[in-house]
């Protein structure tokens, strides 16, 4: 499990006992944003040895409970955390300028690093390896020098744009999930509910994330050629690029959510996205 948070909170969480950390993780799923803010404030001001399970529970006890609906389920509670498994590392977005050098090829994390919220780092690395293997196999069949620039030129051509699209999309999703505004929280939670309810949208996201199935872009004009064949990742990256376009996406989600709320679909009270 990866808990994405601020560096100061990450450092403080590492210093408390595994038992207290277990309660904090469970609280992250089960208490409202206001209570989490109080817990984080106490975490930063209280000595680690005094930030105990009892203290955390006492704070939670006197705060409002998270509103849940009948069809809303929470992840199973964590019962314990092994002390040796607790660690932290900086989250960085990086992308190499080029994947190839003098008889050298970059793949996976050597070529790009991505936020783990979408779980796509391993998938991107495996896709790199598959593309490189196919490229080298073609070069071998034609008797080319496998280390030459000509032999491996198809690998960066195939993978660089796809990886950059996923990096951009995930970075923008991280910004959306990192927002702590009440309205944005509601829109974020409602948007995920909409995706989960509308079958064809859910299938597109799942296919793009795992199976590599692409949705061909359509339309005319300058953007049509750029979007064609990029799949949902490309459409998503282009849609959320820039603040103005981001507002358009949020507005579209709100409009879709409003229409569905007026329909016969069952809806619960707004939830908090994590």
The set of residues, in sequence order, having a beta carbon less than 8 Å from that of 63 and lying 6+ positions away, is 31, 32, 34, 35, 38
Q: What's the angle, vertex CA 263, arms to CA 259 and CA 269, rounded to 5?
A: 80
Say how far apart CA 74 and CA 126 lie, in whole Å.
31
Copy the structure tokens of residue 240.
Answer: 């959320």
The whole-number pLDDT of residue 269 equals 39
- What are the distances in angstroms from CA 252 to CA 242, 245, 247, 255? 15, 11, 9, 5
Q: What is the pTM of this model?
A: 0.59
pLDDT of residue 65: 59
Mean pLDDT by 10 residues, the chain (274 residues): 88 96 91 89 94 93 59 76 92 91 94 85 93 96 93 95 88 71 61 57 53 39 40 48 44 47 40 36
pLDDT at residue number 93:
87
pLDDT at 168: 86
239, two tokens: 């849609």
Q: How many CB atoms lie within 10 A of CB 136?
A: 18
């Amino acid at each position: 499990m990866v808990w994405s948070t601020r560096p100061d909170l990450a450092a403080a969480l590492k210093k408390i006992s595994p038992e207290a950390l277990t309660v904090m993780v469970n609280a992250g799923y089960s208490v409202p944003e206001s209570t989490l803010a109080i817990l984080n404030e106490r975490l930063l001001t209280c000595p680690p040895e005094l930030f105990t399970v009892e203290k955390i529970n006492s704070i939670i006890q006197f705060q409002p409970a998270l509103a849940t609906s009948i069809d809303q389920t929470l992840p199973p509670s964590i019962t314990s955390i092994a002390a040796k498994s607790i660690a932290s590392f900086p989250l960085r977005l990086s992308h190499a300028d080029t994947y190839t050098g003098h008889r050298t090829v970059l793949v996976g994390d050597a070529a790009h690093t991505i936020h783990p919220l979408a779980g796509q780092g391993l998938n991107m690395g495996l896709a790199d390896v598959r593309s490189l293997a196919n490229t080298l196999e073609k070069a071998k069949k034609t008797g080319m020098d496998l280390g030459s620039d000509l032999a491996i030129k198809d690998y960066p051509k195939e993978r660089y744009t796809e990886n950059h699209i996923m990096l951009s999309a995930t970075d923008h999703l991280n910004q959306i999930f990192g927002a702590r505004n009440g309205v944005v929280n509601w829109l974020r939670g409602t948007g995920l509910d909409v995706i989960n309810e509308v079958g064809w949208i859910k299938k597109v996201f799942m296919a793009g994330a795992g199976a590599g199935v692409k949705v061909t872009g359509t339309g005319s004009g300058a953007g049509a050629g750029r979007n064609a064949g990029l799949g949902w990742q490309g459409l998503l990256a282009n849609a959320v690029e820039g603040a103005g376009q981001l507002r358009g996406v949020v507005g579209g989600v709100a409009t879709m959510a409003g229409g569905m709320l007026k329909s016969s679909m069952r809806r619960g009270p707004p939830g908090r996205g994590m």
